[in-house]
Amino acid sequence: MISIIIPVVNEADVIEKNIANIRNACSTNDVEFIIVDGGSTDGTIAIAEKLSVTVVRCEKGRAKQMNHGALFAKGEILYFLHADSIPPLQFDQKILNAYQNGAAIGCFRLAFDYKHWFLKANSWFTRFDMNAIRFGDQSLFVVKNVFLKSGGFREDMVIMEDQEIIHRLKKHGKFIVLKDEVITSARKYLDNGIFKMQGIFFIIWAMYYLGYSQEHLLKEYKKLINKHKL
pLDDT in tens, 84-108: 999 999 999 999 999 999 999 999 9
pLDDT in tens, 63-85: 999 999 999 999 999 999 999 99
Asked if residue 173 lies in contact with residue 148, where contact means CB atoms within 8 angstroms, the answer is no
Q: Is the pTM of this model over 0.85?
A: yes
How would you label 52-69 residue by residue, b for 16+ Cβ within 10 Å and e otherwise?
A: ebbbeebeebbbbbbbbb
Asked if residue 5 lies in contact with residue 73, where contact means CB atoms within 8 angstroms, the answer is yes
